DNA sequence: ATGAAAGCGCTAACAG
DNA sequence: CTGTTAGCGCTTTCAT
């Protein structure tokens, strides 16, 4: 006995319709704010709904309309403030337009990413946003086969799946090197970027190496930090290895501000003056970069803007207003010079 | 012409069934890993599915089974590393059990929270996890009326809705005060906790005031930081106001580690020695607290553990293994003493 | 181990 | 402005 009479079955639309004395279509119209319904009828319906504790079933509506109202999103780690900010903007702007986010954390694991993307697609999202990862062959195949818009963010992959909203992690790191060289630095090292499944870290390191070569300098001072996620603790640990590797190093570029801050703190503990004895640069323009002492030179990747632009693109695509050809948008990260390198 | 013949309509289960030469029920069994199906038949089905690019429709399955496989979660701000860690653990453990997270950011806004909870419930989640907020009357009413488990986290509300997994923000702050008093501090100030819609911040401040009173000290040195979210910048800005308010202050308790770090950095800029001239304590045990110089005394709220425990409770409740009476679990935050206060 | 029929709760597509 | 009918894609139930 699960049902009826007075047996706690949650009310469905038909119950509400009967209670008000209209058809389910009228109730449906009332709930969707559609025109073509008498305002008083609607008010009566909504009042009665409240009274009965009726909750509209979006699952049934989705099935019937073949529109889930979901947008799927993958990030390597929601604990990263940069990605969190992207998700926050994306989620906020989509939410204003009646779309909900389905979020998945890949934890920088390509197999987990494959599994999660599979789960996400079963929910029939209307679009999928991916923080560029190291996709498995099967992941790539699944993504190429899907009929919904696919938007890769936070990078400019050589072989995009469809749309891209990102920037060149390599070039931005190169600009940081240019700046340091212009300051007169010659011995420059790079910390991080060796994490196996983090494309952005890898490209920052590649960008460093390429820029050093371009300047005719030795780009082999690379200090590894291990598997992602790499944070402040890894930055702090890196200092000893850096000094062992290059006792005369003048400047260090870090794969992120978090690593840079860890390194900075380690310097402070050892009495190494920054930027006097060692210039330090980060990446990402995290809050900490403009608060710590000295403030960190870094690159602002416009995390929030990436989220907004992805939201904008999705909304246009879903309205059918979008271009036939895939979008490839470079949001252009911005070099931010602060005291840690001058 | 949207359909048929060769017109790109995505395959549904019936198409796959026909292609393999079985009924949809057999396909359904194959996809749900259920027993009662010939392993070879299943393999044939899965192979063909891959070939056709069939994607199982979880929406239809949800509707029919009346089981969405969703767990709804609200946080004030996913950009906060503490909440992000809770969500990460929760999401990870639920994902292992076939449940997906529906996440909403309230942005510390009770009306937005009400709206978002409404949206979430329409998706028929199987449970809802709420970071305790300042609920509107209507929000509270909706939550009391729902048939699914409601779990409030990150606090121990006086009037819980159902289940609670949290800790006393007030008591933990009191313990911090006890520690400072034991160190010989008398003039102690509190920074933050005045944000209108942040219950935890408010309780930390109340806990401070109560503890000062308990020690017979003046608990009126309160430095406001404005509406949440409150971060490093607000902490840095607070130093001037703190010194204007209490030029002889010996110690300061901050509403979070982020605020504490901002304040610490401002001290460093002004040449105020920490803890020599001013002891500084935070809250939350963020990464930064154990990396910065000096390392911060703080309270570890066990963000990850809160997420795990919520996941565990949900899984038990959904299996029907749980107690009749609402759970009220104090995860017990931990005082962490570091150099910033000794 | 497999299949046929019915229906989950809602809405498109038509009336009127 | 309101109602009727059919059916979204899957799974429950009951057969075989």
Nearest to A255 by CA among A318, A301, A190: A190
**Contact B252/B238 with Cβ under 8 angstroms?**
no
Cβ within 8 Å, pair B77-A92: no
B170 preceded by cis ω (within 30°)? no
Proximity of residue A43 CB to strand D below 7 A: no
Task: Give the Cα separation of A154 and A133 in Å (integer).
Answer: 10
Could you tell me the pLDDT band of residue A8, with boundaries at 50, 70 and 90? Answer: confident
Proximity of residue A63 CB to strand D below 7 A: yes
- Which residues of chain B between 199 and 228 are close to nucleic strand C, CB under 7 A? none
Backbone φ, ψ for residue B143 (5° rounding): -70, -35
Whether A65 and chain B come into contact, CB under 8 Å, resolves to: no
Chains A, B: CB contacts within 8 A come to 127
In tens, the pLDDT along A48-80 reads 999 999 999 999 999 999 999 999 999 999 999
**H or E element: which one contains A102?**
strand A100-105
Using CA atoms, how far residue A155 sits from A331, B20, B154, in Å, is 10, 41, 35
**Contact A126/A70 with Cβ under 8 angstroms?**
yes
Residue A43 burial (CB count, 10 A): 11
Task: Label the pairing between strands B298-300 and B70-75.
Answer: unpaired
Nearest to A341 by CA among A265, A273, A275, A267: A275
Tokens representing A254 are 């870090």
For residue B269, the chain A residues in CB contact (below 8 A) are: 293
Using CA atoms, how far residue A230 sits from A16, A173, B91, in Å, is 54, 17, 21
Proximity of residue A23 CB to strand C below 7 A: no
Cβ within 8 Å, pair B8-A147: yes
Could you tell me the pLDDT band of residue A5, with boundaries at 50, 70 and 90? Answer: very low
Nucleotide nearest to B23 in CA–C1' terms:
C3
Proximity of residue A268 CB to strand D below 7 A: no
Helices assigned H by DSSP within chain B: 13-20, 24-31, 39-52, 58-65, 81-95, 110-122, 137-145, 169-182, 199-214, 232-245, 257-270, 303-318
In tens, the pLDDT along A97-127 reads 999 999 999 999 999 999 999 999 999 999 9
Cβ within 8 Å, pair A291-B265: yes
Tokens representing B299 are 């309270």
Residues shown for chain A? 342
Sorted by sequence, the CB contacts under 8 Å of residue A236 that are 6+ apart come out as A262, A263, A265, A266, B291
Could you tell me the pLDDT band of residue A3, with boundaries at 50, 70 and 90? Answer: very low
Instruction: Determine the pLDDT at residue A299.
Output: 98
Sorted by sequence, the CB contacts under 8 Å of residue A17 that are 6+ apart come out as A23, A24, A26, A27
List the 22-41 stretch of B: residues with Cβ below 8 A of A: none
Task: Give the Cα separation of A260 and A255 in Å (integer).
Answer: 8
Whether B3 and chain A come into contact, CB under 8 Å, resolves to: no
State yes or no: pLDDT of A86 exceeds 90.
yes
Instruction: Determine the pLDDT at residue B3.
Output: 37
Whether A103 and chain B come into contact, CB under 8 Å, resolves to: yes
What is the dihedral sign for C-alpha B269, B275, B277, B278?
A: positive
**Contact A316/A275 with Cβ under 8 angstroms?**
no
Give the angle subtended at the CA of B342 by the CAs of A287 and B198, to the nearest 5°.
Answer: 45
Residue of A52, A55, A69 to mutate when probing chain B, most B C-beta within 10 A:
A55
Q: Is A69 left (phi over 0), alpha (psi -120 to 50) or beta?
A: left
Chain Cα centroid distance, residue B274? 31
Which residue's CA shows the smallest distance to C1' of D13? Answer: B25
A294 preceded by cis ω (within 30°)? yes
Q: Average pLDDT for consecutive 10-residue bins of chain B (342 residues)?
A: 55 96 96 88 96 97 98 97 98 97 97 98 98 97 97 97 98 98 97 97 98 98 98 98 97 98 98 97 98 98 98 96 89 97 92
Domains of chain B: 13-63 (1.10.260.40), 68-167+303-332 (3.40.50.2300), 169-300 (3.40.50.2300)
What is the dihedral sign for C-alpha A23, A25, A31, A33?
A: negative
Task: Give the Cα separation of A131 and A169 in Å (integer).
Answer: 13
Nucleotide nearest to B17 in CA–C1' terms:
C3
Nearest to A280 by CA among A244, A300, A308, A255: A255
Tokens representing A40 are 């008083």
- What is the maximum alpha-carbon separation in chain B? 85
Least confident of A36-40, A214-218, A272-276: A36-40
State yes or no: pLDDT of A273 exceeds 80.
yes
Q: Report the chain B residue with the minimal C-alpha distance to residue A258.
A: B288
In tens, the pLDDT along A170-214 reads 999 999 999 999 999 999 999 999 999 999 999 999 999 999 999
SS3 A23: coil
In tens, the pLDDT along A152-166 reads 999 999 999 999 999
**Contact B310/B129 with Cβ under 8 angstroms?**
yes
Tokens representing B256 are 């979070």
**Contact A194/A255 with Cβ under 8 angstroms?**
no
SS3 B191: strand
Cβ within 8 Å, pair A121-B55: yes
Instruction: Determine the pLDDT at residue A35.
Output: 80
CA A214 to chain B, closest CA, distance in angstroms equals 35
Backbone φ, ψ for residue A224 (5° rounding): -75, 155
A296: DSSP letter: P
Instruction: Determine the pLDDT at residue B36.
Output: 85
Q: Name the one residue in this structure whose structure tokens are 């990747």.
A: A301
Could you tell me the pLDDT band of residue A7, with boundaries at 50, 70 and 90? Answer: low
Chain Cα centroid distance, residue B33? 33
Sorted by sequence, the CB contacts under 8 Å of residue B21 that are 6+ apart come out as none
Helices assigned H by DSSP within B136-231: 137-145, 169-182, 199-214
* Of residues B162 and A322, more confidently modeled: B162
> Is the entire prediction scored with pTM above 0.75?
yes
**With 0-12 CB in 10 A as exposed, 13-18 as middle and 19+ as buried, what is B90?**
buried
Which residue's CA shows the smallest distance to C1' of C12? Answer: A65
Residue B227 burial (CB count, 10 A): 14
Q: Report the chain A residue with the minimal C-alpha distance to residue B231.
A: A287
Instruction: Determine the pLDDT at residue A2.
Output: 37
Task: Give the Cα separation of B50 and B70 in Å (integer).
Answer: 26
Tokens representing A21 are 């004395």
């Amino acid at each position: 006995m699960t049902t009826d009479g007075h047996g706690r079955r949650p009310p469905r639309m038909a119950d509400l319709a009967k209670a008000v004395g209209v058809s389910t279509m009228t109730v449906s119209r009332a709930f969707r704010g559609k025109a073509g319904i008498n305002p008083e009828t609607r008010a009566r319906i909504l009042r009665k709904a409240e009274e009965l504790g009726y909750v509209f079933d979006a699952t049934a509506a989705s099935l019937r309309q073949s529109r889930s109202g979901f947008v799927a999103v993958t990030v390597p780690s929601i604990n990263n403030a940069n990605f969190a900010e992207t998700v926050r903007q994306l989620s906020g702007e989509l939410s204003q337009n009646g779309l909900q986010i389905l979020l998945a954390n890949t934890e920088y694991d390509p197999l987990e990413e494959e599994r999660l993307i599979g789960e996400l697609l079963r929910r029939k999202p209307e679009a999928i946003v991916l923080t560029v990862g190291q996709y498995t062959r099967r992941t790539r195949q699944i993504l190429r086969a899907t009929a919904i818009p696919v938007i890769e963010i936070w990078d400019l992959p050589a072989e995009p799946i469809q749309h891209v909203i990102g920037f060149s992690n390599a070039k931005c790191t190169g600009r940081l090197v240019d700046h340091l060289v212009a300051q007169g630095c010659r011995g420059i090292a790079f910390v991080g970027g060796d994490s196996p499944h983090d494309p952005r870290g890898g490209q920052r390191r590649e960008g460093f190496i390429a820029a050093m070569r371009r300047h005719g300098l030795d780009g082999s001072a690379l200090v590894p930090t291990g598997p992602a996620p790499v944070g402040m603790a890894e930055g702090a640990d890196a200092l000893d290895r850096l000094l062992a590797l290059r006792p005369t190093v003048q400047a260090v570029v870090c794969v992120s501000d978090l690593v840079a801050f860890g390194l900075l703190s380690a310097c402070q503990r050892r009495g190494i003056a920054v930027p006097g004895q060692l210039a330090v640069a980060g990446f990402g323009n995290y809050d900490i970069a403009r608060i710590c002492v000295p403030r960190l030179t870094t690159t602002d990747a416009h995390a929030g803007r990436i989220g907004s632009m992805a939201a904008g693109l999705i909304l246009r695509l879903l309205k059918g207003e979008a271009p036939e050809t895939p979008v490839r948008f470079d949001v252009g990260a911005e070099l931010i010079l602060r005291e840690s390198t001058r």
